[in-house]
């Protein structure tokens, strides 16, 4: 048998990563229905920070090399922004369910493309603007404003998508100054610090069974980040990024199977429009590169 290419391995790992993150979203929703959202995210970040510190300590140069940043305040802001985005996203899972929340959140690559001009000074051509416009038409199909079924809670995953898009753009920005190991270190540690300061006051005792769910959440978080790191070792981000949309499929399946979430045809149509526009945007970016 012929060995698989590195790019094929990277694609397979991206699909595995999206499945792990979809399971993580389901666990987050389950726990956030019983406990304060920020408390759940705080405990998750404690484990994530421990994972990050372990990776950094074993890397060449150790912790000292990982903490050395040319833009430390921007790195800290990135980490805090991601922690806040996770809180907003989990709240969206509770309010809307995984299907609707992920269908709306899928627009974040379009937001990255739209904001890459004003934030990073990148040129955005008319084709990408057209794809962005089509994608937001897909969001309107999902939200259906003016037809009596629009839920104000639908704004929550849209805000989360905007926050994650800004986080992605800032990650591009800091990559011009720092290594990926340094960015990974600040992502975990700054998020853990800010979540502890903000959420430790919301601590609620957990039952033994829920600690098992929390442990599973922490393990899926660490495992997902590990498989994502390995994915980017095998293949370029532009090659595997289109397969990140599998998270929408897996998360929808989790929502339908375990929570009985409804998958309306209009939501499927809107999500297909958003994903199609996002894939076109990624394809254009890859061609330009």
132 token code pair: 């962005």
Question: pLDDT-based confidence at 150, cuts 50/70/90?
Answer: low
**pLDDT exceeding 90 applies to what percent of the chain?**
46
Do 162 and 111 meet the contact criterion of CB atoms below 8 Å apart?
yes
Q: pLDDT at residue 137 above 50?
A: yes
Residue 279 included in any domain = no
With helix as H, strand as E and coil as C, how does 22-67 read? HHHHHHHHHHHCCCCHHHHHHHHHHHHHHHHHHHHHHCCCHHHHHH
Residues 245-282: tens digit of each pLDDT: 888 889 989 999 999 888 888 888 888 888 888 788 77
Q: pLDDT at residue 27 above 80?
A: yes
269 token code pair: 């149509």
Residues 165-180 have a mean pLDDT of 89
In this prediction, residue 149 carries a pLDDT of 46
Residue 285 included in any domain = no
- Residues 31 and 34: their CA atoms lie apart, in Å, by 5
Q: Which residues contact 278 (CB under 8 A, 6 or more apart)?
A: 106, 107, 109, 110, 131, 135, 245
Q: pLDDT at residue 286 above 70?
A: no
Q: What are phi and psi of 269, to 5 degrees?
A: -60, -45
Q: What single string gives the DSSP state of each residue in 186-211?
A: HHHHHHHHHHHHHHGGG-----HHHH
**Which residues constitute the domain of residue 219?**
6-106+153-262
Residue 24 included in any domain = yes
- Residues 221 and 147: their CA atoms lie apart, in Å, by 38
In this prediction, residue 289 carries a pLDDT of 60
In this prediction, residue 144 carries a pLDDT of 65
Q: DSSP 3-state assignment of 234?
A: helix
- Residues 247 and 32: their CA atoms lie apart, in Å, by 20
- Residues 58 and 269: their CA atoms lie apart, in Å, by 46
Neighbours of 180 (CB within 10 A): 12
Question: pLDDT-based confidence at 145, cuts 50/70/90?
Answer: low
**pLDDT exceeding 70 applies to what percent of the chain?**
93
Q: pLDDT at residue 90 above 60?
A: yes
Number of domains in the chain: 1
- In eight-state DSSP terms, residue 261 is -
Question: pLDDT-based confidence at 45, cuts 50/70/90?
Answer: very high
- Residues 13 and 227: their CA atoms lie apart, in Å, by 6
In the block, residue with structure tokens 């340094």 = 182
Burial 91-124 (b: 16+ CB within 10 A, else e): bbbbbbbbbbbbbbbbbbbbbbbbbbeebeeeeb
Residues 188-245: tens digit of each pLDDT: 999 999 999 999 999 999 998 999 999 999 999 889 888 887 887 787 766 777 788 8
Of 225 and 159, which is predicted with more confidence? 159
Residue 132 included in any domain = no
Q: pLDDT at residue 4 above 70?
A: no
Question: pLDDT-based confidence at 76, cuts 50/70/90?
Answer: very high
209 token code pair: 């069974």
Nearest to 246 by CA among 82, 9, 12, 8: 12
In this prediction, residue 198 carries a pLDDT of 95
Residue 223 included in any domain = yes
What is the chain's length?
289
Residues 17-39 have a mean pLDDT of 95
Residue 53 included in any domain = yes
Residue 63 included in any domain = yes
Q: pLDDT at residue 3 above 60?
A: no
Q: pLDDT at residue 1 above 60?
A: no
Residue 118 included in any domain = no
- In eight-state DSSP terms, residue 90 is H
Q: pLDDT at residue 73 above 90?
A: yes
């Amino acid at each position: 048998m012929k060995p698989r290419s590195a790019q094929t391995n990277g694609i397979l790992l991206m699909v595995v990563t999206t499945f792990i993150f979809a399971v993580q979203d389901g666990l987050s929703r389950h726990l956030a229905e019983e406990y304060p959202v920020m408390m759940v995210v705080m405990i998750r970040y404690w484990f994530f920070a421990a994972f990050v510190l372990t990776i950094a300590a074993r890397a060449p140069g150790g912790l000292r090399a990982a903490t050395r940043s040319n833009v430390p305040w921007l790195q800290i802001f990135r980490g805090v922004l991601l922690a806040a985005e996770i809180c907003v996203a989990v709240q969206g899972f509770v309010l809307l369910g995984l299907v609707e929340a992920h269908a709306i959140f899928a627009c974040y690559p379009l937001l990255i493309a739209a904001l890459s001009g004003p934030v990073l000074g990148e040129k955005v051509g008319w084709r990408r603007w057209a794809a962005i416009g089509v994608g937001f038409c897909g969001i309107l199909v999902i939200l259906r404003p003016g037809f009596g079924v629009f839920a104000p809670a639908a704004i929550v995953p849209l805000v989360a998508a905007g926050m994650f898009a800004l986080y992605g753009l800032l990650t591009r920005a800091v990559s011009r100054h720092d290594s990926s190991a340094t960015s990974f270190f600040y992502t975990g540690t700054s998020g853990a610090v800010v979540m502890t300061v903000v959420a430790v006051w919301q601590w609620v005792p957990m039952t033994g069974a829920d600690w098992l769910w929390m442990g599973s959440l922490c393990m899926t978080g660490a495992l997902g980040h590990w498989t994502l790191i390995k994915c980017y070792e095998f293949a370029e981000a532009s090659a595997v990024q289109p397969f990140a949309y599998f998270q929408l499929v897996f998360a929808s399946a989790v929502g339908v199977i375990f929570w009985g979430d409804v998958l309306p045809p209009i939501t499927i149509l809107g999500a297909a429009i958003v994903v199609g526009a996002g894939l076109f945007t990624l394809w254009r970016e890859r061609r330009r590169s």
